[in-house]
Amino acid sequence: MELQNIIDQITQLSQQDDLIQLGRAASEIRQIFEDQLLELERQEQIKRLEEIEKGSSYEPTDFSPFKEAFYEVYNQFVSKRKSQLQLQQSLEAQNLKLKKELIDRLKEVVDNEEKIGSAFQAYKEIHESWKKIGAIARDQREAIQKEYSRLLEIFFYNINIYKELKDHDYRRNKQLKEDLIFRLKQLRIANITQRELEDQLRGLQDEWEEIGPVQNDDWEIMKGAYWEAVRAIYDKINAFYEAQRQQLKANIEEKKKIVAALAQRMSEVSQWETNKQWETQTAYVLALQAQWKTIGFGSRKENQNVYEEFRAQCDTFFSAKKQFSAAQDADNKVIVVKKKGLIEKAVSLSSSTDWKQTATQYKKLQKDWQALGSAGQRYDNKLWKEFRAACDSFFTARQSYFESLDAENAQNLVVKQNLIKTLNDYKLPKEKEVALDELKEFQKQFTAIGPVGIKEGQAIYNAFKSRMDELYNALKLEGQEKERVLFAAKVEQMLASPNRQKLLQTERQELRKQIDQLQREILTLENNLGFFARSKGADSLRQEVNKKIDTANNKIKGLKTKLRLIPNE
């Protein structure tokens, strides 16, 4: 876990010998630990809410062992560092006292020592002691060093006998200072960490102060070069911390934008009325949480405040979602009951072989299913699988049936094509009755073969009918015989058509229409006979009307004969 890695880091830090310079590093590790702990606690809260929302039990993760382990090590670090700081302060105070005593001794030598040899020996002892004394408090360092340097300069100026040695020291000190200025310039562009940069700068500054004086003519130039190099490094250090401050500020602004965006979205919560809308908003909130994790930290106080605002908004959202889900679950249970009813109907129809009617019923069931809407993820997938299984069972059987029909139809097509080929080669015999019997036999064979595919049905029927019409016309039938034979052949041909029901129904309706028309004509003629009895020349007109009535009745008789030839299907 990430928390254990952080604990390991503070543990490694606390095991180092010198903790004084590691205070900021420890504070940063503590900040990271606290932020990480807050984030894990937030994630734990979300997981707990999600599991509660699903109705599942949830065992929370206890982070207190990590927290106790971290602060135990951290507090040990703080205590140990505090002790080192107190010891350092004590040493710095002792060193300050020693340096002041050396300054007093050097001042005594400068003011009162008249023997050059003794004075120089005293100086050497003082200077050696000075170099061995450790660091003093920073706020005292410059003043003490300046006073010491001032006394040294006075000392060397006053000791003319050592002028040659002083010139040598000047040259040496100049070389050391030039070398140190060069190192400062190199440090400015060095690719090192910020902490290393600050540590090395402090070391070089201390080293500068420890180097002796140079010629006055060189001092102003070297002092300017030194401070220019130091200021350049301080500018770099300040720029780094300013960039950090700006980055922390930018991070806070980015997080505030996320909080504002979530608050704006939460103002629309009353408009979310469907599962799809809530899922869309949940994806949006999770995306904001993911985006939040990619943003770095801000200042500690601001970071905590903005995080609490964001967490409160998220808690409000998931609480509202939970309430919606509870209400939605109640509605879903009503839909579940209705869908189970549709499943029962679908299962009861699955073994039906009334393909057309049952397919229509299944389509209605599917429309009813869609109209009910979703019963929620908890139920809908399982219910749909059951419903679809029943539908698939029927439609798979239906498909298998029609595939077998297609194979049979293909075979029927070949047989009918062969029959038409035979019919095309057929020659009518001279005896009319024999020819009619053979044509009827062709007709029976064609009808008995059975259906072919819808695509080929009309074409094969048209080819057969066309050839049969040619043969019947070639018989040169006359009168009622022709009419009867041709109509019987027409009925047989309609029976062989893929649209036989429609053709037979149309023919039946046409015959009945003609019968009705003739019956109306007879009724009109019979009504007219009443007028002929009261007029001159009525006998001849009555005979003509009766003749028309007889003719109409004969036509009706013929039409009824045809009607009886049409089978009822």
Per-residue pLDDT of 130-182, as tens digits, reads 777 877 777 777 888 887 788 777 777 776 555 666 677 788 898 998 898 99
pLDDT in tens, 9-46: 878 888 887 777 777 888 888 888 888 878 888 888 88
Which amino acid is residue 39, in one-letter code? E
pLDDT at 359: 80
Residues contacting residue 566 through CB under 8 Å, at least 6 positions apart: 491, 504, 507, 508, 511
What's the angle, vertex CA 97, arms to CA 96 and CA 101, rounded to 5?
Answer: 115
pLDDT in tens, 41-84: 888 888 888 777 887 777 778 888 888 888 888 888 888 888 87
553, containing H or E segment: helix 538-565
pLDDT at 117: 64
pLDDT at 179: 92
C-alpha of 349 from chain center: 40
pLDDT at 227: 92
Stretches where the chain sits below pLDDT 50 are 1
Report the distance separating Cα 427 and Cα 471, nearest Å: 9
pLDDT at 492: 67
456-493 in b/e form (b: 16+ CB < 10 A) is bbeebbebbbeebeebbeebebeeeeeeebebebbbbb
Can you say whether the dihedral through the CA atoms of 326, 332, 337, 340 is positive or negative?
negative
Contact criterion met (CB below 8 Å) for 355 and 401: yes
Report the distance separating Cα 206 and Cα 184, nearest Å: 12
Regarding pTM above 0.75, the answer is: no
Cα dist from 109 to 126, 158, 278, 287, 480, whole Å:
10, 11, 89, 77, 166
Cα dist from 51 to 58, 103, 280, 388, whole Å:
6, 75, 20, 30
> How many C-beta atoms lie closer than 10 Å to residue 341's C-beta?
13
pLDDT at 182: 92
pLDDT at 491: 66
Report the distance separating Cα 112 and Cα 129, nearest Å: 20
